[in-house]
Amino acid sequence: MTAGAGEAHETAILTIDLDALAANYHRLRELAGTAECAAVVKADAYGIGMAQAAPVLWRAGCRTFFVATLTEAKALRALLPDAVIYVFSGLLPGTAEIYRAHDLRPVLNSLEEIKEWAEYGRSVGAKLPCAVHIDSGMNRLGLSADEVDAVSATRDLWPALTLSLVMSHLACADDPDHPKSGTQRKAFDRLRALLPQAIASLANSAGILLGADYAYDMVRPGIALYGGHPRRQGPNPFRPVVHLAGRILQVRNVAAGETVGYGATRSFKRPARIATVASGYADGVLRALSAGDDADGLVVSIAGHAAPVIGRVSMDLITIDVTAVPEEHSRRGAFVELIGPNVTAQEFAARAGTIDYEVLTSLGRRALRRYIGG
């Protein structure tokens, strides 16, 4: 890539392809079959920017959205006045009026929350919509089996509210052969049958790829929308959305026996050419990508030529070995592809010992954000 007009001073550019985002939504909607395809836009749309992503998804046909917090929900409501918006964190004490004022729907995670929502509805004379989250075996948020039994027997609750969604969350869907997904699906079917009839939702991005048995009435993709890989292995069926490039600030020759970076963790066994790139962990290049002696670093790309990261990742800088890169490409001011067509977010994450969810949500705000398409 090259810097555009007025971008000569930029040291890093984060390009976000909104056409790819829309294409991923359409692909997920196809995979969902007859089920509604919602969208999870929590954590600022997984780091790419909710203000830009949500309207694109709306224009692509999405009508139901999920966020993590009330603050996110209020921001989304300002963007999409007519969307259905669910909030995963549920009903914190004293927040019912906020939900009603902004036409938001809590995902109720306990018997206590259900009771509070019903009581609030009675107090304002309205049967307010909500979701109920069943814990089908993840042991995180959601009603336990005992709570489902208790709430199903409390008949006076349901006339005071509108149950618009019953949902659960898969723990191991990223491994298509893991038996826990089937166990959770059976538990979900058994427990939701005890509640009033409502739209059912179980599948996240990885769950959608498990097939029609997991689609129910609504699917809730997140990472796949943004080009992440929902499964641990195999090719990624979704288009990359994020492209991160950093600029070379300086190129130098080093002699055998010299070291590079903090801690002198990487030494050279032969003469080399190294480039210092203006991107570090403040830009989302995780410190875990550091590569000391006898460690393989992330291989980035310069005009299609491979160049490994060497030494420690610092806040603002990384160093890469450009010995094998033609000098006309590895010059001062040239761009280095850190995430993109040649360096996938999955590979980036794997080298750091993490997942692409963390990579996307860790992208800093210092790089110039350039949105294309949409």
* Structure confidence by residue, pLDDT tens digits, 69-125: 999 999 999 999 999 999 999 999 999 999 999 999 999 999 999 999 999 999 999
- Can 262 be counted among the known catalytic residues? yes
Q: Of these residues, 42, 120, 214, 216, which one is catalytic? A: 42
3-class secondary structure per residue, 76-132:
HHHHCCCCEEEECCCCCCCCHHHHHHCCCEEEECCHHHHHHHHHHHHHHCCCEEEEE
Contacts of 193 (CB under 8 A, 6+ apart): none
How far apart CA 248 and CA 228 sit, in angstroms, is 27
pLDDT score of 6: 61
**Beta strands per DSSP E along 282-330:** 299-302, 305-310, 318-321
What would the mean pLDDT of 201-225 be, rounded to a whole number?
Answer: 97
* Structure confidence by residue, pLDDT tens digits, 157-200: 999 999 999 999 999 999 999 999 999 999 999 999 999 999 99
Give residue 77's identity as a one-letter amino acid code.
Answer: R
Q: Of these residues, 86, 115, 262, 269, which one is catalytic? A: 262
**What percent of the chain has a predicted confidence (pLDDT) above 70?**
98
> Would you say residue 1 has pLDDT above 70?
no
pLDDT score of 156: 86
> Could you give all domains of the chain from N- to C-terminal order, each with its CATH number?
18-226 (3.20.20.10), 242-372 (2.40.37.10)
pLDDT score of 4: 59
- The angle formed by the CA atoms of residues 284, 289 and 291, to the nearest 5 degrees, is 150
pLDDT score of 155: 79
Grade residue 210 by pLDDT with cuts at 50, 70 and 90: very high
Q: Is 152 exposed, middle or buried (0-12, 13-18, 19+ CB in 10 A)?
A: middle
Buried b (16+ CB within 10 A) or exposed e, 353-365: eebbbebbbebbe
pLDDT score of 3: 60
Pairing of strands 266-267, 259-260: antiparallel
pLDDT score of 364: 86
> Would you say residue 298 has pLDDT above 70?
yes
Asked if 297 contacts 291 with a C-beta cutoff of 8 angstroms, the reply is yes
Mean pLDDT (the chain, rounded): 95
What would the mean pLDDT of 255-269 be, rounded to a whole number?
Answer: 96
* Structure confidence by residue, pLDDT tens digits, 299-355: 999 999 999 999 999 999 999 999 999 999 999 999 999 999 999 999 999 999 999
pLDDT score of 2: 60
pLDDT score of 120: 97
Contacts of 122 (CB under 8 A, 6+ apart): 160
How far apart CA 228 and CA 169 sit, in angstroms, is 18
* Structure confidence by residue, pLDDT tens digits, 46-75: 999 999 999 999 999 999 999 999 999 999
Q: Which residue has the higher pLDDT, 10 or 6?
A: 10
* Structure confidence by residue, pLDDT tens digits, 135-152: 999 999 999 999 999 999
How far apart CA 358 and CA 175 sit, in angstroms, is 18
Residue 166 token pair: 């019953």
**What percent of the chain has a predicted confidence (pLDDT) above 90?**
93
Residue 316 token pair: 């603002």
> Would you say residue 5 has pLDDT above 60?
no
